[in-house]
Amino acid sequence: MTLTQLVSGSLLLVCLVAQSAPDRAVIERSLDLRENWLPLTRNLMLEPVWTRTGDAFHYKLSVEGGFLFFRDQVYQSQTEPAFDHQLVATGLSRVTGQDYTALNLPFDRFQYADDGQSIRFYLHNIHWQCQLQVANCQDVTEQRQPSAFGVVRDLQQQAASGPVPSPDGNYQAQVSGHNLLVLDQQGRLVFQTEDGVSSNFYDPQLIRWAPDSSALALVRVQPGKARYVTRVLSAPADQLEPQVIQQLYPKPGDAVDVDQPVLVRPADKTAIDIPTTLFPSPYRIDSLAWQQGDQGVVWLSERDGWSHLYWVDSAGQQLQQLTQGNWRVRQVLAVDESSGTIWFTASGYYPGQDPYYEHLFRVGLDGSDFTTLTEGNAHHEVTLSPDYQHFILRYSRVDLPYVAELRQSHDGSLVRELARADISQLSAAGFRPPQPFVAKGRDGETDIWGLIVKPQNFDPDQAYPVIENIYAGPHDSFVPKSFWPFGFHSGGDKVIGMQAMADLGFIVVQIDGMGTANRSKAFHDVAWQDLVDSGFPDRILWHQAAAKQFPWYNIEDGMGIYGASAGGQSTVAALLFHPEFYKVGVAYAGCYDNRMDKISWNEQWLGYPIGSQYAASSVVEQAHLLQGQLLIINGEQDSNVDPASTMQLVDALIRADKDFDLLIVPGGEHSVGRSSGPIRYVQRRQFDFFLRHLKQQDTPDWNRVQ
């Protein structure tokens, strides 16, 4: 409502003029934006996959009406369909009950299997295999011993393990009655451990023979605390009565599995505990492997303030730095011991470029022959061939559609262009790339990077309220750097989700403040034992700088903010601790008190033992500070963050006599509103909330029959 005062003589007339509510069709157009725009790109290549030999590769490509998979050869361009798409769609539809077509297969990557007679891919937490001669797909998920967030095994579901033969076939190893047994070819007992008990047992899933069969390694496990979270599935699809679901879910402070590596030599009849001096607090070992050769290891460390590569000899004594500078190594792609070469990606190397853009480099194992293999002002995504001879480069920016090239790995030279995305139809439909914006952070020196998304019908003479899409988790950086605006999963809330929100009359932004990853160690350490900081001092300065530069960037009446998971926690923190700035928030699936959340993520960033730092980051403890408008959304079956965390926040708000809105989605998972569950409904509730409380506009009566 707006207030207009009309003065006529001594008569004061006060008229309340209602702003026109957005048309229902306008909101529905935003809800359908991803579905309508997704098919409008052409020749855009997604992540490629190499064959094991390195002489061929395949990839998913946008085409008229959807996407298809193609395969190609390295030494001669021979592009052809990777398989019969309709055959796979028929087989997958039949087994899943979903309706798939040749142009909308629901996976982005696959591997050939059975000598090219079938393909394997991952979909909805299931490994599938589809034959390529008949329409037949099946679940081929391997039943392995489950673990909870990588730290506690689920002993109630411990998978049995059969005998593991040695490479030379002379021995078989297996676990029976908590102990390791080694048998010869005739099944006679060669060696058996005697110290295995239920509280200190040998793990049958981690038996690894040496290549020469002279020894094997495995682990002896002291199990941690088996904490279970219990949830109620209120509305099961297959019955009327609710179901009770239990999940192994260790929380901060709980005892974790402690794994002791053991070396067994059958011929000597010995089992020796491997010293853990290199890792004095060992826990959950997920894999064991025998090192070939004896040159040492490549080590990634931030000891000089930046993430760099070091070489350590096999005794763990000599240390040599292989890369250095005010930039960071992001990922080691391959180590070729035969040529003494490491291929890796790094960001921040080129002055004047966005410091998050990744590039490809190589360096010798002795630190020599450092070589830059990509240079362009863009984000570079690299897939190296298994024989190390070539790589496929896909480079892009948020304003530069993907270009895919085949290059040689020794010098980065171009072999040929593979695909160049065409977005002419997408642009004709109204797409405009986000606008990068940079401002100084809290120290007055560090650049803080973000994106600004404007409405399609943007008018620079109009002032727009601003909404921030926040994710401040310290495990990564989150502002998109590549072109693909849709995310890589159905309902992915990247640029397209921000665009849908902006089209309702907002400016929507995303920022990487201090405390997020992929910059210097000092930049990252801001989050250590202080997750509630969420980079807000940097974010607020960024918004103020944008408002000073752009007249249409209106933050005078307060801002909106939304986020999920750690972003949900940050959303509530914004309303509690910065109420003069953030006025309206929508929080999804938040870990509102880190003591209630999963052990691995929270102990990693808030530390151990559990102390006052956990309470200091809890928005539940400070719920009484709420001043703005808050909508809390949570999936009833969230298996990532204990749903009780949400209900404890609700309880604290009620006890503090605070008003708020709450939406619980029965059966909804952690990704509710983003990639599972009733996405459209949940997103519409978010849209309505910001329209009513940030723009002060009435919204349609959705219950009225049309």
pLDDT digits (tens, 9 = 90+) for 648-675: 999 999 999 999 999 999 999 998 866 6
Over residues 503-519, mean pLDDT = 98
Q: What is the dihedral of CA 146, 472, 506, 706, to 10 degrees?
A: 20
Residue 124's pLDDT band (boundaries 50, 70, 90)? confident
Assigned token pair, 42: 């052409």
Query: pLDDT, tens digit, for every residue of 248-289?
Result: 999 999 999 999 999 999 999 999 999 887 676 766 787 888
The CATH fold assigned to 293-420 is Neuraminidase (2.120.10)
Digit-coded pLDDT (tens) for 312-367: 987 777 889 999 999 999 999 999 989 999 999 999 999 999 999 999 999 999 99
Tell me whether strands 629-635 and 661-665 are parallel, antiparallel or unpaired: parallel
Q: To which residue do tokens 């920016």 refer?
A: 397
Q: Look at the block and give the residue holding tokens 């949570």.
A: 634
Q: What is the dihedral of CA 486, 489, 490, 492, to 10 degrees?
A: -50
Please spell the DSSP secondary structure of 334-367, one letter per residue: EEETTTTEEEEEEES-STTS-TT-EEEEEEETTS
Average pLDDT over residues 213-239: 95
Please give the sequence-ordered ranges of beta strands (E in DSSP) within 2-65, or none if there are none. Answer: 2-8, 11-17, 49-50, 56-63
Q: What is the pLDDT of residue 293?
A: 84
Mean pLDDT of 157-186: 90
Mean pLDDT score, 568-596: 97
Number of H helices, E strands in the chain: 12, 43
Residue 406 has pLDDT above 50, yes or no: yes
CA distance 302 to 112: 38
In a 13 Å sphere around the CA of 196, the CA atoms on its Cβ side amount to 21
pLDDT of 11 > 70? The answer is no
Q: How far apart are CA 661 and CA 689, in angstroms?
A: 9
Query: What is the identity of the amino acid at 498?
Result: M
Query: Mean pLDDT, to the nearest integer, of 451-464?
Result: 97
**Predicted confidence (pLDDT) at residue 5 exceeds the cutoff of 70:** no
Can you give the pLDDT at residue 7? 34
Radius of gyration of the chain (CA): 28
In 3D, which of 406, 314, 325 has the Cα closest to residue 365? 314
The answer to whether the CB of 35 falls within 8 A of the CB of 415 is no
CA angle 525–594–232, rounded 5-degree value: 150
Distance of CA 494 to the CA centre of its chain: 12
Q: Does domain 426-693 have CATH number 3.40.50.720?
A: no
3-class SS string, 446-491:
CEEEEEEECCCCCCCCCCEEEEEECCCCCCCCCCCCCCCCCCCCCC
Say if pTM beats, i.e. exceeds, 0.85: yes
Q: Give mean pLDDT, residues 88-108.
A: 96
pLDDT value at position 288? 85
In sequence order, what are the residues at sequence separation of 6 or more whose Cβ sits closer than 8 angstroms to the Cβ of residue 140?
120, 127, 128, 129
Decide whether 293-420 matches 426-693 in CATH topology: no
Task: Read off the pLDDT of each residue in 613-619 and give the average, rounded to a whole number.
Answer: 97
Mean confidence (pLDDT) of the chain:
92
With b for 16 or more beta-carbon neighbours within 10 A and e for fewer, the 132-148 pattern comes to beebbbeeeeeeebebb
- Residue 142 pLDDT > 90: no
Residue 534 confidence (pLDDT): 98
DSSP 561-591: EEEETHHHHHHHHHHHH-TTTEEEEEEES--
Nearest-angstrom CA–CA distance, 31 and 21: 17
CA–CA gap between residue 368 and residue 347 (Å, rounded): 20
The pLDDT value given to residue 158: 66
Give domain limits for the chain.
151-273, 293-420, 426-693
| pLDDT digits 0-9 by tens, 484-497 | 898 754 444 679 99
Residue whose structure tokens are 């030999």: 53
pLDDT of residue 3: 35
